[in-house]
Amino acid sequence: MTPITLRRPDDMHLHLRDGAMLEAVLPESARHFARAIVMPNLVPPVVTAAQAAAYRDRILAALPAGMAFEPLMTLYLTETTDPGDVAAAAASGLVRAVKLYPAGATTNSASGVRDFDRVRGVLERMAAIGLPLCVHGEVTDPVVDIFDREAMFIDRVLDPIRRATPGLRVVMEHITTAEGVAYVQGGGDTLAGTITTHHLILNRNHLLAGGIRPHYYCLPVAKREHHRLALRAAATGGAVRFFLGTDSAPHPDHLKEHACGCAGCFTATNTMAILAHVFEEEGALDRLEGFTSLHGAAFYGLAPNAARITLEKTAIPAAWPARIATGAGPVTVFNPGFPVYWQVSD
């Protein structure tokens, strides 16, 4: 089989962390990806333009010599976010999106939004200037079952916000349900959805049947098989409003393999090879470039990358390290659970 060459991909949802972890995981993304929308959920979070500028500098300082990578910065929306600060950060090109975490929804989301009326001014300003809102779409009401939190969020929070803020550009991130797919499909051209690599592979049985697998635990949690199939159809179907956001989210193994384990799958290392496998299985290799390299850039108003990446089919399964070493401890690389006969060759 002849190798396939794509525009270099962009990862439209990535956790790079900071310090020793940043140093170790950044090359894993920069090896294949030209750019990434970088999540702001550090401790403390990246709330102001000044904090985003300092974080971008730390990322660029951690980039090994000879690697090219452009971090696309985001701001963490809080109830005290200043619309003027956001607008200035967007106008300067520093910030490409604002991230909405409902308070308590996921890792480091304690400073997120509780009362959505209190961010109305920021959202209206964002709609006026065309700055996208990236949304972690899960309700946090403790009485709502964790497997229902995404579908409930659409009705209770996301749709009301979008109706109240006409023109607001929204990325519903890491969608995990058929309801999420349907909402994005019916949402018009101000709405997009990102899909992770691992949610194309995992259903909740992979996580929970035959023993609990902490390295498959992430948020939003993997759902039933019919949801996974809906995600695969959306990712490989060619629609421009679905694109890759890996949500690669490193945690040291001792915090994953724990009585109260952290949420997050670390997929930066092998995402492109796994996606080639998935798209080949779906007979959609010709749509891989759109999903990884064109649709996301278009939604964010960026030109596609000029550089290319080549993937080739291999006779023997691809081999990755089971884990990478970081200054914060070893981090397990996502194991898809099947052999992958693809590798990035160039």
Residues between 252 and 311 with contacts to ligand NCD, criterion CB under 6 A: 263-264
Q: Which is nearer to ligand NCD, 11 or 247 (CB)?
A: 247
* Angle 132-136-140 from CA coordinates, rounded to 5°: 140
Residue 111 sits in the site that holds ligand NCD (CB under 6 A)? no
Crossing angle for the helix pair 49-62 and 83-91, nearest 10 degrees?
Answer: 40
CB of 170 to ligand NCD, least distance (A): 16
Q: Which is nearer to ligand NCD, 109 or 343 (CB)?
A: 109
CB of 199 to Zn ion, least distance (A): 12
CB of 264 to ligand NCD, least distance (A): 3
- What sign does the CA torsion over 79, 82, 88, 91 have? positive
Residue 247 sits in the site that holds Zn ion (CB under 5 A)? yes
Amino acid at 8: R
CB of 305 to Zn ion, least distance (A): 22
Half-sphere exposure of 194 (CA within 13 A, CB side): 33
Active-site option among 82, 115, 159, 247: 247
Reading the block at residue 126, the tokens are: 């964002």
**CA pair distance 50, 163, nearest whole angstrom:** 31
Residue 45 sits in the site that holds ligand NCD (CB under 6 A)? no
Residue 138 sits in the site that holds Zn ion (CB under 5 A)? no
Residue 263 interacts with which of ligand NCD, Zn ion, none, CB < 5 to 8 Å by class? ligand NCD
CB of 337 to ligand NCD, least distance (A): 18
**CA pair distance 346, 338, nearest whole angstrom:** 23
Q: In the set 74, 81, 106, 176, which binds ligand NCD (CB under 6 A)? A: 106
Residue 28 interacts with which of ligand NCD, Zn ion, none, CB < 5 to 8 Å by class? none
**CA pair distance 327, 8, nearest whole angstrom:** 29
CB of 325 to Zn ion, least distance (A): 23
Residue 70 sits in the site that holds Zn ion (CB under 5 A)? no
Is residue 247 annotated as a catalytic residue, yes or no?
yes
Residue nearest to Zn ion (CB): 247
Q: Where does residue 5 fall: left (phi above 0), alpha (psi -120 to 50 degrees), or beta otherwise?
A: beta
Map residues 11-30 to x or -, x wherever contact with ligand NCD holds by CB under 6 A: ----x---------------
Q: Binding-site residue total for ligand NCD (CB under 6 A)?
A: 11
Q: In the set 11, 150, 247, 253, which binds ligand NCD (CB under 6 A)? A: 247
Cβ-count burial 297-328 (b if 16+ within 10 Å, e if not): bebbeeebbeeebebbbbeeebebeebbebeb
Q: What DSSP line would sit under 314-329, residue for residue?
A: -SS-----SEE--TT-
The residues pairing with 171 across neighbouring beta strands, listed in sequence order, are: 134, 192
Distances, alpha carbon 237 to alpha carbons 172, 189, 241, in Å: 18, 17, 10
Which residue, among 292, 254, 253, 257, has the nearest Cα to 271 in the 3D structure? 292
Residue 236 sits in the site that holds ligand NCD (CB under 6 A)? no
Residue 107 sits in the site that holds ligand NCD (CB under 6 A)? yes
Map residues 136-165 to x or -, x wherever contact with ligand NCD holds by CB under 6 A: x-----------------------------
SS3 content of the chain, % helix, strand, coil (to 5): 40, 15, 45
**CA pair distance 183, 181, nearest whole angstrom:** 6
Residues between 188 and 227 with contacts to ligand NCD, criterion CB under 6 A: 218-219
Q: Which residues bind ligand NCD (CB under 6 A)?
A: 15, 41, 106-107, 136, 218-219, 247, 249, 263-264
Q: Which residues bind Zn ion (CB under 5 A)?
A: 247
Task: Please give the positions annotated as active site.
Answer: 247
